[in-house]
Amino acid sequence: MEADLGSGTVYPILERLQSNGWVTSWTESEPHPGRPPRRFYQLTGTGRLAADVALKERAARQARFRLAGGTA
């Protein structure tokens, strides 16, 4: 899924998620010549639980909106 967000938006979000313990990150061990090393991110167990709760809350809001006659 693409969010169409620029790096100035994405990286501050990733930093906040990491400071909350929701993601971990690491730098690739063997960078390719001509470009900086890539940074990888992975949800932690806590982050996965938080994401599941957020997705369920979003689905509930969308369902309420549809029941109220809106279009989702």
Taking only the tens place, the pLDDT of each residue in 16-59 is 999 999 999 999 998 789 999 999 999 999 999 999 999 999 99
Instruction: Give the mean pLDDT of 6-16.
Output: 91
Q: Give the residue numbers spanning the domain of 25.
A: 7-67
Q: Return the pLDDT at 1.
A: 57
Would you place residue 67 in the very low, low, confident or very high pLDDT band (cuts 50, 70, 90)? confident
Kindly state whether residue 58 falls inside one of the protein's structural domains: yes
Kindly state whether residue 2 falls inside one of the protein's structural domains: no
Kindly state whether residue 14 falls inside one of the protein's structural domains: yes
Instruction: Give the mean pLDDT of 3-20.
Output: 90
How many structural domains comprise the chain?
1
What b-and-e string marks burial along 29-61, b requiring 16 or more CB atoms within 10 Å of the CB?
eeeeeeeeeeeeeeeeeebeebeeeeeeeeeee
Q: Which residue has the higher pLDDT, 49 or 68?
A: 49
Q: Return the pLDDT at 32.
A: 86
Kindly state whether residue 24 falls inside one of the protein's structural domains: yes
Kindly state whether residue 22 falls inside one of the protein's structural domains: yes
Kindly state whether residue 1 falls inside one of the protein's structural domains: no
Q: Chain-centre distance of CA 39, in angstroms?
A: 14
Kindly state whether residue 72 falls inside one of the protein's structural domains: no
CA dist., res. 62 & res. 70, Å (int): 9
